[in-house]
Amino acid sequence: MSGVHEECGVVGIYAPQGEDIVRFLYYGLLSLQHRGQEACGIAVTDTGRDELDVNCIKDLGLVSEVFSKETLAALNGNLGIGHVRYSTTGESVRENTQPLVLNYCKGKLSLAHNGNIVNTDELREELIRTGAIFHTTMDSELIAFHIAKNRVHSKSVEEAVYKTAKKLKGAYGLVIMSPKKLIAVRDPFGIRPLCLGRRGKTYIVASESCALNSMGAEFIRDIEPGEIVTITEEGITSNYKLKQETKAHCVFEYIYFARLDSVIDGIKVYDARIKAGELLYKRHPVDADIVTGVPESGIAAAKGFAKASGIPFDLAFHKNSYIGRTFIKPSQSERSIGVQMKLSVLEEVVKDKRVVLVDDSIVRGTTMENLVKMLKKAGAKEVHIRISSPPFMYPCYYGVDVPSNKELIATRKSAEKINETIGGDTLEYLSVEDLQETAKGLMICTACFTGEYKAGQKSNDNEG
Ligand code: AMP
């Protein structure tokens, strides 16, 4: 795959009464940390001051590493946005950290983006054509520059955002801060999540509802696909809407990516995962002594499987939570060591048992291969693998990081061959149809399983 593929989380807060919101931005980012562990940042302004300025602190690292008590104390304001970012190209680039802050005709414009734009070439060419000397390939920067350019001929910043959003193809959940406004935009397919909340008179926008809970805020509603929400001193307005008949909510949010306690587009992530586990048992039953899940990603689906089958759920692994996600390790041998460092088997739970092992997905196959070996070494008699999503076969162009096609094991091998490689007794996946059932009536994007990219495909990506 070419380009940097990102997974991110965004948050935006506006307290028109003037309350300092920095600590709430921090809490929000902490609770969105699962969406990106590579870098993070906060940009904040005080709308009460005559001379408006934006203070921005951003760096590589976890939220708790980048923001100490001292750095947080140096920031204050009543309007701000924040971002957590994760990319897997291997290069951690400080310049790519967000929020972006740039000067435009009305002062400073700040922006944070979750998702991935597929028509970056077009967007860049347009900027070059109109006279801007422009070399960036970063989609978020291209969006910010288009808004700044459009602002000159627009009556408001939200109109400039609307004109820009009409040109964007792909996935985006954006939070934008102009000197006195907070604007949130969700792509017309509704690929990435974005919701709205309130804490007293303070308004909050966040990638996931779990961020609202962490601030003691109440959930108001999801931002609708294609909706542009503007929050000012006067409150919330929603005057611009991008049209799109088809929706394509990312189903991987429910399978893996979102936090278990979030509710996205009316569906509880926990319920979707339990349902996936129940359906897995219904379609692929097996006789076994215990059901277990890969921590944390497979636990809820394993519970669903146990509930439907009546086979007791047990914890077969201890997880060392202080080690980052193994997925990002650059070499295969390091990835295997990563799995072993992160998870260890509880021998007394699995010895002489027939085990059902549930996880949300198989990407390269590293996790499963290692876990099956560990279970068998600890004396498990049989290991039956059940995956609560279909075979992962195609790259995501919309902001969920996946390795290139060549590394996706299901692109190269049938389920039978994968099972041989990872050493299971049986291996079964959930079907795309059943996945749809977990997301109830929602129109979902299943491109990573089907190759049907409803919101467009990256034109310069020919590894697909
Ligand atoms: P692998 O070991 O390469 O087969 O990866 C499978 C594991 O990675 C599973 O336990 C998943 O929960 C997790 N996973 C799946 N997709 C992603 C992703 N986009 N980013 C990080 N981890 C992932």
DSSP states of 126-195 as a string?
HHHHTT-------HHHHHHHHHHHHHTTSSSHHHHHHHHHTT--EEEEEEEEETTEEEEEE-TT--S--E
Given a contact cutoff of 8 angstroms between Cβ atoms, the answer to whether 4 and 87 are in contact is yes
Q: Which atom of ligand 1 is nearest to the CA of 297?
A: 12
What count of residues does the chain have?
A: 464
Given a contact cutoff of 8 angstroms between Cβ atoms, the answer to whether 345 and 379 are in contact is no
Query: 297: CA distance to ligand 1 center in Å?
Result: 9
pLDDT of the residue at 326: 45
- pLDDT one-digit tens code per residue, 366-375: 999 999 999 9
Query: 53: CA distance to ligand 1 center in Å?
Result: 41
Report CA torsion sign: 151, 156, 159, 161.
Answer: positive
Beta strand residue intervals within 371-440, DSSP E: 382-387, 426-429
Residue whose CA is at the smallest distance from ligand 1 atom 19: 401
Q: Which residues are catalytic?
A: 8
Query: 327: CA distance to ligand 1 center in Å?
Result: 6
Residue whose CA is at the smallest distance from ligand 1 atom 11: 361
Longest CA–CA span in the chain (Å) reads: 72
Mutate to test the pocket of ligand 1, among 34, 269, 334, 367 (most ligand atoms within 8 A of CB): 367
- Which residues of the chain are modeled with pLDDT < 70? 1-6, 87-92, 133, 324-330, 459-464
Given a contact cutoff of 8 angstroms between Cβ atoms, the answer to whether 357 and 311 are in contact is no
Q: Which atom of ligand 1 is nearest to the CA of 400?
A: 19
CA distance 223 to 214: 19
Sheet containing strand 39-45, edge to edge, reads 54-60, 39-45, 79-87, 6-14, 202-206, 195-199, 218-222
Pocket of ligand 1 (CB under 6 A): 256, 294, 297, 325, 327, 359-367, 400-402
Query: 169: CA distance to ligand 1 center in Å?
Result: 26
**Could you give the angle at which helices 299-309 and 269-283 cross, rounded to 10 degrees?**
50
Single-letter residue type at 348: E
Phi-psi region of 226 (alpha: psi -120 to 50; beta: other; left: phi over 0): left
Q: Which atom of ligand 1 is nearest to the CA of 294?
A: 10
Reading the block at residue 241, the tokens are 């809407």
Residue whose CA is at the smallest distance from ligand 1 atom 21: 327
CA distance 21 to 238: 23
pLDDT of the residue at 324: 60
pLDDT of the residue at 340: 85
Query: 188: CA distance to ligand 1 center in Å?
Result: 27
Alpha-carbon distances, residue 402 vs 3, 343, 393, 439 (angstroms): 12, 22, 10, 22
Q: Considering the entire predicted model, what is its pTM?
A: 0.94
Q: Which atom of ligand 1 is nearest to the CA of 365?
A: 4
Given a contact cutoff of 8 angstroms between Cβ atoms, the answer to whether 96 and 80 are in contact is no
Spacing of C-alpha 455 from chain mean position:
17
CATH 3.40.50.2020 region(s) of the chain?
270-444
DSSP conformational letter for 407:
G
DSSP conformational letter for 406:
G
CA distance 401 to 395: 8
pLDDT of the residue at 394: 94
| CATH, domain 270-444, list 1.20.950.20, 3.40.50.300, 1.10.10.10, 3.40.50.2020 | 3.40.50.2020
pLDDT of the residue at 210: 98
- pLDDT one-digit tens code per residue, 277-312: 999 999 999 999 999 999 999 999 999 999 999 999
CATH 3.60.20.10 region(s) of the chain?
9-247
Given a contact cutoff of 8 angstroms between Cβ atoms, the answer to whether 83 and 26 are in contact is no
| CATH, domain 9-247, list 3.30.70.580, 3.40.50.10860, 3.60.20.10, 3.30.390.10 | 3.60.20.10
Alpha-carbon distances, residue 368 vs 286, 359, 371, 385 (angstroms): 18, 8, 5, 8
